[in-house]
Structure 1
């Protein structure tokens, strides 16, 4: 039995990337098929008519509100610095947090892309590799705890409205929250999570990062709710919260960059069950995506590019005078 398990492990390790791309590709195909069915009855004229309600002042206010809700994400690094001093200024920590989160939200891949950029930015300012790995790992581990908490809170409101299979999926996803808190005691054979960066986190640190995650996702939901109620007022907020976190969870499980397609399709389907017009939901989601995903990504990538160019020029000047 053991040699078979070892062979399976070797096989999985060898074709891990290929399998991941195959699964992601399959999910994308399924999302495209499902989306084509969902969008079949949508009237573009209705979307244009609803879009005319958006004045320039309202669009500017929406952009400011979306950015304000997004900026909560930078607090992760400030909180983590309280427990593990990085010797970086608060502004540098916020800059790293905002840039990483903007990158991670846009590209997705389960938050791994944002974690990779966070690692790179910390290494730019910090020489201790172990600490750098620790910062990125602990923040990545805490990132979804807020979603899990809101899933648990929202599930009772969704019973009897949505399919039991969807509720079961959401419940299973939410079990990551107790797992997060139990990482300090989990050891199954060679799988020793309690000795990892996450497992060694004290309870106070876990609670603090969980609080930040809850605030981050509450901010994201606040803007999502704003965009939905902009065109479809009167929807019950606790039920809308469940729709948001369930669609977010499905987006993460799909491993599609940014959850694009899977999140939107889930939100359109679930909001359609609540009686909302698809055309207005599509417009709300478009506004949500443009302001909460594209705008921070473009803004912080421009700042990152300028920052990298200035660092390069400064280094060239230093090298010139040291010749």
Structure 2
């Protein structure tokens, strides 16, 4: 098969596979949604105060904090100096759009390439370094998935589809380290050191742990008093299915598994939907909107520089 045909097959698969997943979710969700009480959802919404909503958005904002340290490492790798304020906005916008758009962090990598290229020397392969760093985004989820398989397999037995996704994600970090061990060229770039592996793993671990804490916090604010250890496997399983589905933000796939998991603890579907709604708004949409003026300013500056 020629390279062009292979690329064509891969492109079709990237479109068809998410559509198939969404189709399965749609038919499976019919049983849940047919008894859905929209009036009850409105009642829960009316009970929320402005203070509660502010707390929820603060939680979503804080959940992005560990990802800031990806950019701290990049600054070390590039041996450049950027003010903490500037680095904060660079990180927030890259991570916010990466989460919102999805597609393996392409949006985040594109924005980082745009931001850093005027700081680094021409001989520094900054695009390759940023791309290699993005390989570590899933390592934290992989470690947490492995722990779920070892210590809490209840939901895995209930949801066969999720079990396959969790096993696949759990295998990601070991496979990545095997590749790094066998291929010396992986870290043959200037300024890149193997000593950063531990830091990147730790950042990714806390990144995904903060996502769990964010959803747990939103649940408690909405009156769903579930323990952190109980909600952790639900969020991890949902995230794994969302990643494997290749749907931006795991929309639909993440939500479906989360609904099933929360119903295991007797949480009403209406409340689950409200938790998901505020999670999407606070963790995905709010940071992207907040950082949009900074992104536009940097894009304008880049165009002006190219013109000159």
Residue correspondence of structure 1 range 277-316 to structure 2 within 5 A: 277-309=268-300
Which residue is 1:190 aligned to? none
Secondary structure of 1:41's match? Answer: coil
Q: Label 1:95 to 1:314 Cα distance change in 2 as closer, same or farther (>3 A).
A: same
2:136 to 136, 139, 142: 142
Residue correspondence of structure 1 range 108-187 to structure 2 within 5 A: 108-128=102-122, 130-163=124-157, 165=160, 166-186=162-182
Secondary structure of 1:19's match? Answer: helix
Which of 61-70 and 90-99 deviates more?
A: 90-99
TM-fit CA distance, 1:281: 0.8
TM-fit CA distance, 1:278: 0.9
TM-score of the superposed pair, with normalisation by structure 2: 0.87
TM-fit CA distance, 1:314: 8.2
TM-fit CA distance, 1:310: 5.7
1:196 to 148, 172, 186: 186
Which residue is 2:259 aligned to? 268
How large is the RMSD of aligned CA atoms in angstroms? 2.7
* Distance in 1 of aligned mates of 2:188 and 2:53: 41
Q: Label 1:129 to 1:113 Cα distance change in 2 as closer, same or farther (>3 A).
A: farther
Q: Label 1:63 to 1:122 Cα distance change in 2 as closer, same or farther (>3 A).
A: same
* Distance in 2 of aligned mates of 1:25 and 1:298: 27
Which of 76-85 and 10-19 deviates more?
A: 10-19
Which residue is 1:189 aligned to? none
Q: Is the aligned partner of 1:236 residue 2:227?
A: yes
Question: For residues 16-51 of structure 1, what are the alpha-carbon distances to aligned partners after superposition, in whole Å with 9 as ceiling and x for unaligned?
Answer: 223312222322333333334432221111111111
TM-fit CA distance, 1:308: 3.3
Q: Which ranges in structure 1 are unaligned for 5 or more consecutive residues? A: 1-6, 187-192
CA contact (8 A) 1:184 1:198 kept: no
Which residue is 2:54 aligned to? 60
Q: Label 1:91 to 1:11 Cα distance change in 2 as closer, same or farther (>3 A).
A: same
TM-fit CA distance, 1:246: 1.3
Larger radius of gyration: 1
TM-fit CA distance, 1:276: 1.4
CA contact (8 A) 2:40 2:270 kept: yes
Secondary structure of 2:117's match? Answer: helix
1:15 to 3, 9, 18: 9
CA contact (8 A) 1:80 1:209 kept: no
Q: Is the aligned partner of 1:246 residue 2:237?
A: yes
Q: Which ranges in structure 2 are unaligned for 5 or more consecutive residues? A: none
* Distance in 2 of aligned mates of 1:145 and 1:194: 20
CA contact (8 A) 1:264 1:285 kept: yes
Higher-RCO chain (CA-CA 8 Å, sequence separation at least 6) = 2
Q: Label 1:160 to 1:50 Cα distance change in 2 as closer, same or farther (>3 A).
A: same
TM-fit CA distance, 1:300: 1.0
